[in-house]
Amino acid sequence: MREIIKSIIKEYTQEKRVDWIKEHCNDAFNETYDRNFCYAATKIIKDDYRLQENFSYLINRFVDKYKEEINTIKWETLTSEHDLAKKGLEELDWVMKNGKKLCPEIGQNIRKILTDLNNGMYVFYVDKNTGEYHLLNRLDTNYSALAVMITEYFRSYDAIYAMNLRIKSAKGWEEPVKHLINYIIEPKSGKMLPFSDDVFKDINFDEKPLKYIFDNLIKNLESKISEKTYKVLKNVREVGFETERKFIKELEKHGIQYENFGRDYGLVDRKLGIDLFVKLNSGWYPVQVKSSEREQTLITKLGCRGALVVYPDKGTFWVGNISFEQFFCEELNLCKESEISSDKTNQ
């Protein structure tokens, strides 16, 4: 059974589809050149997790520096005594006990999470007015939102239109966009580093581009940067939770045992890429539920001898190219005839 699952996940992650890159860019921008910029930015940030970590660090530093001026959010450093962390530690303990046999590297990943938690590396954002979870928590792990945010910044300077006059193909956007992303993360005295073909000729930006971006994202909620970025974050969250709920409903319908970890700022979900575990014949298997896209996911980096990435299509869920019924009911013979109920569905 493990070999079957390994072959399924391999086929799943190798299949190429680009619709997931285009979806949020197309919704945010009307012009073809803006969309081409956004497609390239999404791909670059998605493929380089280091960039996401850099943005996370820079956002935290910005909020800490300007916290007296920010009236929309506040941040809390998670400690082992924080209620959110306590719940996360309980979940990590379950995963360690039930997942290490199948995923030998998961213990190492969990130990790093615990070390980072004890060192105050995790920041939790809440709404200043309500005290509730804030969508900004999702920005560092959402490459689509980061890409839309960056695209809107350069679009507002007419930089993308000017670049479009010099870029001859859709593929030609990737290298200059990568150059710009690295520039805004670490600007060199406000000057662009040299780039070939005069793509950036006569184009000027802020000396502190990220401060401008974060000012608009966090302080000016009526700005286009804020409006478009939070719209992506909200949509991805809602679609993701709804897809997970539907998958869990299918598990319950067929009497398949599971443990759900998909929630806002859940450490298992956020740091390991695991939405839930399902009980198969030989033990507990980690699962990540995707809304539609088929790109490589965080869960595939855990070194598991079998992990499931499932997605909805054609009225059912699929594991690779095998339908829910064929995989769970026919191949593994896990489905019970009577439906069962459960209160585990994500709230």
Would you say residue 95 has pLDDT above 90? Answer: yes
Would you say residue 296 has pLDDT above 60? Answer: no
Lowest-confidence region among 152-161, 168-177, 198-207, 318-327 = 198-207
Q: What percent of the chain has pLDDT over 70?
A: 85
**More confident position, 172 or 197:** 172
Would you say residue 193 has pLDDT above 90? Answer: no
> What's the average model confidence in pLDDT over 98-123?
90
CA dihedral 164, 167, 171, 177 (to 10 degrees): -70
**Token pair of 142 as six digits:** 């959402």
The confidence score (pLDDT) of residue 267 equals: 93
Minimal CA–CA distance to 143: which of 50, 217, 216, 206? Answer: 50
Lowest-confidence region among 169-178, 218-227, 248-257, 337-346 = 337-346
Q: What percent of the chain has pLDDT over 90?
A: 53
* pTM for this predicted structure: 0.84
Minimal CA–CA distance to 328: which of 64, 1, 52? Answer: 1
Helices (H), the chain: 2-14, 19-28, 32-47, 49-65, 83-99, 106-118, 143-156, 159-164, 174-185, 209-214, 224-253, 267-272, 324
- Whole-number Cα distances in Å, 282 to 58, 305, 324: 44, 12, 18
Minimal CA–CA distance to 287: which of 319, 331, 240, 321? Answer: 319
Would you say residue 221 has pLDDT above 90? Answer: no
Would you say residue 11 has pLDDT above 70? Answer: no
Confidence of residue 194 (pLDDT cuts 50, 70, 90): low
**More confident position, 344 or 117:** 117
Q: Which residues contact 299 (CB under 8 A, 6 or more apart)?
A: 272, 273, 274, 286, 287, 288, 307, 309
At 265, is the secondary structure helix, strand, or coil? coil
The confidence score (pLDDT) of residue 338 equals: 47
Minimal CA–CA distance to 9: which of 317, 304, 315, 329? Answer: 304
DSSP of 281-297: TTEEEEEEE-SS-----
**Token pair of 129 as six digits:** 């007015």
Would you say residue 245 has pLDDT above 80? Answer: yes
Would you say residue 17 has pLDDT above 70? Answer: no
The confidence score (pLDDT) of residue 188 equals: 58
The confidence score (pLDDT) of residue 197 equals: 59
The confidence score (pLDDT) of residue 186 equals: 74
Confidence of residue 306 (pLDDT cuts 50, 70, 90): confident
Lowest-confidence region among 1-15, 121-135, 140-154, 175-189 = 1-15
Minimal CA–CA distance to 214: which of 288, 125, 327? Answer: 125
Q: Which residues contact 291 (CB under 8 A, 6 or more apart)?
A: 236, 239, 240, 243, 311, 312
pLDDT, mean over the chain = 85
Lowest-confidence region among 137-146, 204-213, 225-234 = 204-213
Chain segment 139-150, per-residue pLDDT in tens: 988 999 999 999
The confidence score (pLDDT) of residue 339 equals: 46
The confidence score (pLDDT) of residue 18 equals: 38
Class of domain 2-16+241-331: alpha beta
- Whole-number Cα distances in Å, 188 to 50, 98, 177, 232: 19, 48, 16, 30
Chain segment 37-68, per-residue pLDDT in tens: 999 999 999 888 888 889 988 999 999 999 89
Residues of the chain with CATH 3.40.1350: 2-16+241-331
The confidence score (pLDDT) of residue 192 equals: 53
> What's the average model confidence in pLDDT over 154-178?
90
